[in-house]
Amino acid sequence: MYAMQYEISVPADYDMGILRDRVAKASHLLDDREGLGLKAYLIREIADGSPVNQYAPFYLWHDTAAMSRFLFAGAGFERIIRSFGRVTARHWTGVARYSGAALDGPAPSAASRRTRPVPVFDDTLSAWVEEAAADAEKLAQRDDAHTVALALDPTRWELVEFALWASAVPDDVEATERYQVLHVSRPGLASLPEGLIR
């Protein structure tokens, strides 16, 4: 599993309806994309308390070749480049994924992302990752959790925890970012590994 996200920040006075319309018109294009496990079309808005207006879709891929085709072989990302320039696409190595209690319910309407540095360890990194995965599994057991994923950036040594929620992100959930979900494409969600990847 591989995670990917790019963030497109727009001015404070930008009409976010433009992004909503863009997603409404184009989101179906990835509903059956080969190699894609899940794409959550996410936005943050200043009007809702966010520090920025932003479009920030999050992907979980089960096929890195499909991710590569999407990025540079004319299979999707060129539309983003044409509209917004060449934005940075961050990517992480998959650590774990858990199906939430609300997976088979209505489409999720909120998402959270928590990014934290990986502590420096001599020989206990695996134990720390296992503990983080156990916490993610507990999060997925909440009634309103749809999907929870963990992924690692070995360049910055950061762990990202991404969660989709049936309704609002619960107040007690630690999150560095909170998003609205406009649409979720999940053509290969069942093909993503379940649990801690070993």
pLDDT digits (tens, 9 = 90+) for 152-176: 999 999 999 999 999 999 999 999 9
Question: Which range of residues forms the domain containing residue 179?
Answer: 2-196
Average pLDDT score over the chain: 94
pLDDT digits (tens, 9 = 90+) for 54-64: 999 999 999 99
State whether residue 120 is helix, strand or coil: coil
pLDDT digits (tens, 9 = 90+) for 84-96: 899 999 999 999 9
- How far, in Å, CA of 131 to CA of 129, rounded? 5
Which of 87, 60, 52, 88 is closest to 177 using CA atoms?
52
pLDDT digits (tens, 9 = 90+) for 111-157: 999 999 999 876 788 999 999 999 999 999 999 999 999 999 999 99
Residue 179: which CATH number? Answer: 3.30.70.100
Residue 26: what pLDDT? 86
Which of 137, 162, 133, 150 is closest to 56 using CA atoms?
162
Which of 5, 32, 23 is closest to 191 using CA atoms?
32
Instruction: Report pTM.
Output: 0.94
1, 97 contact by CB (below 8 A): yes
The count of domains in the chain is: 1
Q: Give Cα 138 distance to the centre of its chain.
A: 18
Q: Give Cα 40 distance to the centre of its chain.
A: 6
